[in-house]
Structure formats: structure tokens, C-alpha cells
Amino acid sequence: KHTRPYRPQTNGKIERFHRTLADGWAYGRHYRSERARRDALPAWLHLYNHHRPHTATGKQPPITRLNNLPGQYS
């Protein structure tokens, strides 16, 4: 996805996510290969979205802010 040009609010958010991604997943530990690094990404994203508290969401994981999950509406 792309952010809108000349929109520092959204660009800042994605830049911060890229930094968190680099610190927490890409360079946060030593991987034996690039394949091992790529294989670790889904688990890291799950941790980030479902378990890691975020200050912007009141120390709750981002998943708690979703209101359009599949099966939520009948």
C-alpha cells in the first residue's frame, strides 16, 4: 500500500513501523540464513499484532482495535 504524498502523519507512522520491524524482526536476532529470516516474519507479525502492547492503543495490541473481523457480524 502507498501513503498519500505530502502527508507526514501517515508517512511517520509507516516509518516508525519500518524501524520497529527492523529492530524487532529483521535485525533483532541472528538468523542462519535469509530463508530463516523470512520464515520468522509471520510469527513476528502475529506477536506484534495480537500480543505486543502498543502505547497508541492504551497498552493493548492492535487487534483489539479492529471492528470488522470475519464472523463478527451475523
The DSSP secondary structure of 2-60, one letter per residue, reads -PPTT-HHHHHHHHHHHHHHIIIIISSS--SSHHHHHHHHHHHHHHHHHTS-BGGGTSB
Q: Is residue 3 one of the residues assigned to a domain?
A: no
Q: Answer whether 54's CB lies under 8 Å from 61's CB.
A: yes
State yes or no: pLDDT of 3 exceeds 80. Answer: no
Task: Evaluate whether residue 34 is within a structural domain.
Answer: yes
Whether 35 maps to a domain, the answer reads yes
Residue 72 falls within a domain, yes or no?
A: no
Question: Which among 19, 23, 63, 26 has a CA at the least distance from the CA of 41?
Answer: 26
State residue 73's pLDDT score. Answer: 64
Instruction: Give the model confidence (pLDDT) of 11-70 as tens digits.
Output: 787 888 889 999 999 999 999 999 999 999 999 999 999 999 988 889 999 888 887 777
Provide the domain count of the chain: 1
Q: Residue 74 — very low, low, confident or very high, per pLDDT cuts 50/70/90?
A: low
In a domain, 2, yes or no: no
